[in-house]
Amino acid sequence: MTTTIEQLVAQMTLAEKAALVTGDSNWTTTAVSRLGIPSLLVSDGPHGIRRLPDVHAIVQKSLPATCFPTASGLAASWDVDLLYEVGEALATEAIAQEVDLILGPGVNMKRTPLCGRNFEYFAEDPYLAGKLAASLINGIQGRGVGTSLKHFAANNQEFERFSIDAQIDERTLREIYLSAFETAVKQAQPWSVMCAYNKINGVHGSQHRQLLTDILKTEWGYHGFVVSDWGAVHDRVAALEAGLDLEMPGPKPRRTEAVIEAVKNGTLDVAVLDEAVGRILRLVFKAAETPKGGQQFDADAHHALARRAAAAGMVLLKNDGVLPLQAPQRIAVIGRAAQVPHFQGGGSSHVNPTQVDNPLAELQKLAGDAAVTYAPGYPADDSFEPSLIDEAVSQAKAADVALLYLALPSSIESEGYDRTNLDLTPAQVALIQAVTAVQPQTVVILNNGSAITMSDWLDGAAAVLEAWLMGQAGGGAIADILFGRTNPSGKLAETYPLKLSDTPAHLNFPGENGVVRYGEGLFIGYRYYDAREMPVLFAFGHGLSYTSFAYSNPQLSATTFLDKDGLTVSVAVTNTGQMAGQEVVQVYVHDQVSRLVRPYKELKGFAKVALQPGETKTVTIPLDFRAFAYFDPAHGQWVTEDGDVDILIGASATDIRHTVTATLESSLDLPPTLHAESTLNDWFTDRRGWQAIEPLMQKLRDEASGLFGGDDEDGPAIGMEMLRFMLDMPLVSILHFQESVLTQAPEEMVEDLLRQVYAAHEAED
């Protein structure tokens, strides 16, 4: 007979249980050999395995592993199948290195491009981030390796990340900052979720009961365990009570003692501890079902996948026709990043790559007989060196085309600190300006993890390729794109603003006195630029191809639909150019009228489609209840409303090709929210409220005078202006002006009316 987890927990001593909920080393959980409980070995990170040979080390050269593009690059592929494939490869490497669980992916929102860790996050849009993360997780976990979805929640900056208090209203939290987590949890059930260091509305992520227990475990039905970010726990007992199952790293004898003591003195219910132990053990034994070690992984095959993934995510931002290169005879390669590629970010996700493509060497392999020169353009310390610029200029002048490889230094962008501006370094800007002044055929190739501004130099460049922190095979991927071996198909998962002061969080970042106020609310990324009707440098969803695509015949599955049945949108896409390519079709929803303010449009579906020249395919994208719903704090739930919704089908957030409209019928019968201070407008717009006050309104119309307008031939009237004046007054205050015609005190009348409304609601239920 096999022992169940519950039986196992019952056999454990209090000391064993208390020890199990804290790690045994930096990267392992506590084993209990007496009961045959093994330990779980965890390892960073999202885009490659950072397995330290010694589990007691926190920083050490990790075992060689494939460094895939970081999340920014993967996300810009908009390719869920590719993320699944990368996930499978990560799992294979984890298994080879005896890793049970990978600490990633991260789905925090790119609230501001300044966040130093944006390179590890997917997008400024929760729908896109959630879908990509779910696919990556399914790819990893499908092979029996766990994941840790992080950092839950609102870890959107590095500034004071251990302590900052992110103050966010409930609706914004739900719609923007929790939504990607929700999708990933519901569609992929990551084995673990990692809490954030920061506070959310005054409470540390590690002790946030509402987030860890009420929302994550209860509402979303999460079965895995919650692990702390490394060092995020402040009060172990309070964290357990809030729903934090595993504290990492360990061992921490004082924590274990505190848990034992709390159970003994009755301040901690042992059932809470048992629950945490059970959640951890379920995954410890699940991990044991997949034997680890033994086999090596195929490093060459994974390098090839990393090259394909890097190319799929690179975004051709601008191209006046110079790309793909048409067999130039003389190529000037300029920029240190061509020789010393910057392909990953600093911090916990740093991978020791199995091999690294040299971008210059990869370019030469494809350049045929062309004469290729090289000039670094700027020194290793990124300082300003006029002689290096002069050298670059003379090489550029002598060539048919100049390829400028520029990387944002890791001293500017990394885990641990935020950026202070969105610019390339002054030396790099000067280099671009000098080179483009003498060579109109200049291509700028960029390595950075998040948006940068380009106003100082963009006009001079013939083409710009955003290559991101592209992983170890990125050098080859750049060459593939420049020479047209791969047709670029990446699209931005984040807006590129014209300038820093245009960005949504500009007035509320990074916070002060320990608090950062999310004053922009729902309006981050394109939601903000839409609302402000502001031009941007490159829009969310933008990305060029060497071919062109036409959209036609947009169709909806229905013109009127019930919210819970959803709607299917289809559109035909034709490759109208000369080269095979891939297009990312984006579907946004715009609600025409709603009770609460909503972003103008929100991404609710997308599909990447591959097309030969002249080929047409019909893309079909389903939209479910949530595509149309918003979170209404007054009801504490996702709501839909009757009315027309526009479905916007586009090639980017600012390149909408078709708009089709359907009528939504809400299946919700929401309870009334009327209360003693509700306004006349509230009573009018609530169906039952209107029924209840109609007779009273009639009476006031018939009997009231004075304040409610002069008499006319139809008797005392409530004129339009007066009505508008009164709409925003509480009903009780209006009644106070009419006491003479009332038989009851205004407060009592309103109480009676409220009773009627709530009784009518209950009777209908």
Q: Which residues bind ligand BGC (CB under 6 A)?
A: 44, 103, 150, 229-230, 348
Residue 449 Cβ, how far from ligand BGC at the closest point, in Å?
15
> What CA–CA distance (Å, rounded) separates 648 from 603?
9
Chain position whose Cβ is nearest to ligand BGC: 348
Backbone angles phi, psi at 632, to 5 degrees: -100, 110
Residue 215 Cβ, how far from ligand BGC at the closest point, in Å?
21
Q: Do residues 660 and 646 make contact, with C-beta atoms less than 8 angstroms apart? A: yes
Q: Say which residues have a Cβ less than 8 Å from residue 431's Cβ, sequence separation at least 6.
A: 334, 335, 377, 378, 388, 389, 392, 404, 406
Residue 265 Cβ, how far from ligand BGC at the closest point, in Å?
33
Residue 508 Cβ, how far from ligand BGC at the closest point, in Å?
23
> What CA–CA distance (Å, rounded) separates 376 from 361?
14
Per DSSP, the three-state class of 610 is strand
Per-residue buried b or exposed e for 330-359, using 16+ beta carbons within 10 Å of the residue's own CB? ebbbbbbbbebbbbbbbbbbbbbbbebbeb
Residue 194 Cβ, how far from ligand BGC at the closest point, in Å?
7
Query: Which one, of 117, 123, 112, 46, lies nearest residue 77 by Cα?
Result: 123
- The residue (of 44 and 682) whose beta carbon lies closer to ligand BGC is 44
> What CA–CA distance (Å, rounded) separates 763 from 765?
6
Query: Which one, of 14, 22, 12, lies nearest residue 253 by Cα?
Result: 22
- CA 531 from centroid of its chain's CA atoms: 20
- The residue (of 73 and 104) whose beta carbon lies closer to ligand BGC is 104
Residue 606 Cβ, how far from ligand BGC at the closest point, in Å?
27
- The residue (of 46 and 511) whose beta carbon lies closer to ligand BGC is 46
Exposed, middle or buried: residue 297 (CB in 10 Å: 0-12, 13-18, 19+)? Answer: buried
- The residue (of 44 and 382) whose beta carbon lies closer to ligand BGC is 44
Residue 140 Cβ, how far from ligand BGC at the closest point, in Å?
15
Backbone angles phi, psi at 396, to 5 degrees: -65, -40
Per-residue buried b or exposed e for 89-100, using 16+ beta carbons within 10 Å of the residue's own CB? bbbbbbbbbebb
> What CA–CA distance (Å, rounded) separates 337 from 406?
6
Residue 748 Cβ, how far from ligand BGC at the closest point, in Å?
57
- The residue (of 20 and 103) whose beta carbon lies closer to ligand BGC is 103
Backbone angles phi, psi at 14, to 5 degrees: -60, -40
Q: Do residues 101 and 439 make contact, with C-beta atoms less than 8 angstroms apart? A: no
Residue 61 Cβ, how far from ligand BGC at the closest point, in Å?
15
What does the angle CA 382 – CA 385 – CA 386 come to, to the nearest 5 degrees? Answer: 145
Q: Do residues 83 and 136 make contact, with C-beta atoms less than 8 angstroms apart? A: yes
- The residue (of 348 and 447) whose beta carbon lies closer to ligand BGC is 348
- The residue (of 46 and 313) whose beta carbon lies closer to ligand BGC is 46
- The residue (of 44 and 275) whose beta carbon lies closer to ligand BGC is 44
Q: Cα dihedral angle (130, 133, 134, 140), rounded to 10 degrees?
A: -170
> What CA–CA distance (Å, rounded) separates 428 from 447?
12
- The residue (of 230 and 630) whose beta carbon lies closer to ligand BGC is 230
Residue 21 Cβ, how far from ligand BGC at the closest point, in Å?
18
Catalytic, out of 100, 165, 229, 480: 229
Alpha-carbon distance values, 122 to 2, 11, 160, 318, 449 (Å): 42, 43, 22, 22, 10
Alpha-carbon distance values, 6 to 14, 33, 193, 278, 281 (Å): 14, 17, 22, 7, 10
> What CA–CA distance (Å, rounded) separates 194 from 233?
12
Q: Do residues 126 and 171 make contact, with C-beta atoms less than 8 angstroms apart? A: no
For the chain, percent helix, then strand, then coil, each to nearest 5?
35, 20, 45
Query: Which one, of 497, 667, 668, 527, lies nearest residue 589 by Cα?
Result: 527
Paired tokens of 1: 């007979």
Q: Identify residue 239 by its one-letter amino acid code.
A: A
List beta partners, residue 446: 406, 466
> What CA–CA distance (Å, rounded) separates 467 from 405?
10
Residue 150 Cβ, how far from ligand BGC at the closest point, in Å?
5
Residue 248 Cβ, how far from ligand BGC at the closest point, in Å?
8
Q: Say which residues have a Cβ less than 8 Å from residue 57's Cβ, sequence separation at least 6.
A: 26
> What CA–CA distance (Å, rounded) separates 93 from 352?
13
44 is catalytic: no
Catalytic site positions: 229
